[in-house]
Amino acid sequence: MPAATAPSATIELTYREAVREAIRDALKRDPRVFLMGEDVGRYGGCYAVSKGLLAEFGPERIRDTPLSESGFTGAGIGAAIAGMRPIVEVMTVNFSLLALDQILNTAATVRHMSGNQFGVPLVIRMATGAGRQLAAQHSHSLEGWYAHIPGIKVLAPATLEDARGMLWTALEDPDPVLIFEHIMLYNMSGKLAADAGPVGIDKAAVRRAGRDISLITYGGSLWKTIEAASALAAENIDAEVIDLRSLRPLDDATIMASVTKTRRAVIVDEGWRSGSLAAEICTRIVEQAFFDLDAPIGRVCSEEVPIPYPRHLEEAALPQTPKIVAAAKAALGRA
């Protein structure tokens, strides 16, 4: 008989540290890689992700930039076209709107407009989401807007493995990849294989198998959704939890396989309901699996307001576990 394979050693770390290790590994592995953004160097990053990297790799590889998202994102695009592999960090998704022209009109279109002569192998990382009382200019979930744009990939790592492994795969992509890291995940801790490597960036994952209803979500809402599934299990409702992982492209096959099995679905999306990613997923389910449904599709989204500062109002504005449970029960006729 073949010898048993020894289990991989694991390490305890936070989501923040997993992202840092991904950046460190990329810098060691490829001399073309560098990190640039506001406060990524001396300050160690607004969310302490890049803490210590300046001392380790120096100012050529860890570059503090002026407060000009359009300027340094454009510089990253130019460096990528010239053969480098830049990682551009935008402090928060709200500030990324200042670079939207560079992302939409340049990075996403160069391959098309050059007749496939040039690509932009650029990775843009940014914090997204609410929950830390950072008020309306720092707390929104706009990744669904970017998922609307052809020519880019949009990722939302929710686990330590994805936080560690998605960057590796993204840096190997010949076109722009945007990675949205939810601010409420940075302190999440757990175990990760010490030799964890790249992961796929185009498939959803079934995080919890179930038979009664599909709960479809991503990013920071994944763990609330898993909590909701556990609460539903206590009432003999077996919920399946789908982590989208990639928002563009969406993995229709995994979504439809789940929905055709459970025949009911609720989509949890921290974006606003109107024009949301949740609306896109609803439409795809209706287009591809309408006759498999036994109930209307439910949605749990943020309230249609700028995210408030007071904690009780911020919590009320966001998808929360009780809202997910209530939506699932409604879909099952058990409200």
Q: Which amino acid is at 239?
A: A
Of 64, 51, 57, nearest to 16 by C-alpha is: 51
142 plus 58 within the same structural domain: yes
Report the pLDDT averaged over residues 55-71. Answer: 97
Clarify whether residues 42 and 178 are in a common domain: yes
Q: Same domain for 172 and 76?
A: yes
Q: 261 in a domain, yes or no? A: yes
Quick one: what percent of the chain has pLDDT higher than 90?
96
Phi, psi of 203 (to 5 degrees): -130, 140
pLDDT (average), residues 130-141: 93
Do both 248 and 175 map to the same domain? no
Domain that includes residue 234, residue range: 205-331
Average pLDDT of span 63-73: 97
> Does the structure show a pLDDT above 90 at 67?
yes
The model's pLDDT over 232-281, given as tens digits with 9 standing for 90+, comes to: 999 999 999 999 999 999 999 999 999 999 999 999 999 999 999 999 99
177 pLDDT more than 70: yes
Please state the rounded mean pLDDT for residues 48-57.
97
Sorted by sequence, the CB contacts under 8 Å of residue 106 that are 6+ apart come out as 74, 77, 120
Strands (E) in the chain, as ranges, are 10-14, 33-37, 62-64, 85-90, 123-128, 153-155, 177-182, 189-193, 205-208, 213-217, 239-243, 246-248, 265-272, 298-302
Same domain for 184 and 246, yes or no, is no
Total domains, the chain: 2
Sheet of 62-64, strand order: 62-64, 33-37, 85-90, 123-128, 177-182, 153-155, 246-248
Given a contact cutoff of 8 angstroms between Cβ atoms, the answer to whether 153 and 176 are in contact is yes
| 244 plus 138 within the same structural domain | no
Average pLDDT in the chain: 96
Query: Cα–chain-centroid distance for residue 189?
Result: 17
Q: What is the pLDDT of residue 8?
A: 72
Q: What is the Cα–Cα distance from 226 to 232, expressed in whole angstroms? A: 10
pLDDT tens-digit series, residues 183-218: 999 999 999 998 899 999 999 999 999 999 999 999
Q: What pLDDT score was predicted for residue 85?
A: 98
Q: Final residue of a domain: which of 129, 164, 193?
A: 193
247 shares its domain with 277: yes
- Strands 213-217, 265-272: pairing kind: parallel
Give me the pLDDT at residue 289, please: 97
Q: What confidence tier does 155 reach under pLDDT thresholds 50, 70, 90? A: very high
5 falls within a domain:
no
My answer on whether 187 and 209 are in the same domain is: no
Inter-CA distances, 65 with 36, 74, 181, Å: 7, 12, 20
Q: What pLDDT does 58 receive?
A: 98
Q: Which of 62, 130, 128, 75 is nearest to 106 (CA)?
A: 75
Q: Does residue 3 have a pLDDT over 80? A: no
SS3 for 193? Answer: strand
Vertex 43 angle, CA 42 and 48, to 5°:
125
Whether residue 170 is found in the same domain as residue 259:
no
Q: Supply the residues annotated as catalytic.
A: 69, 138
What band does 335 get if pLDDT is binned at 50, 70 and 90? confident
Domain match, 287 and 145 both? no
CB-based contacts of 2: which residues, under 8 Å, 6+ apart?
none
- The two three-digit tokens of residue 217, written as one number: 């979500």
Q: Which of the listed residues 163, 193, 223 is the one where a domain comes to its end?
A: 193
Residues 108, 218 share a domain? no
Calculate mean pLDDT across residues 29-55: 97
- Whether 106 is covered by a domain: the verdict is yes
Q: Which amino acid is at 297?
A: I
> Of 169, 193, 217, which one is at a domain's C-terminal end?
193
Q: Is 72 part of any domain?
A: yes
Nearest Cα neighbor of 243 from 266, 269, 217 is 217
> For residue 117, is it within any domain?
yes
**40 and 184 housed in the same domain:** yes
Confidence at residue 2, expressed as pLDDT on a 0 to 100 scale: 54
Q: Is 1 a residue whose pLDDT tops 70? A: no
Q: Give the span between the Cα atoms of 334 and 293, in whole angstroms.
A: 17
Give backbone dihedrals phi and psi of 317, rounded to 5 degrees, phi first. -80, -20
- The pLDDT score that the predictor gives to residue 6 is 58
Which CATH number covers residue 285?
A: 3.40.50.920
Question: In which band, very low, low, confident or very high, does the pLDDT at 7 lie, cut at 50, 70 and 90?
Answer: low
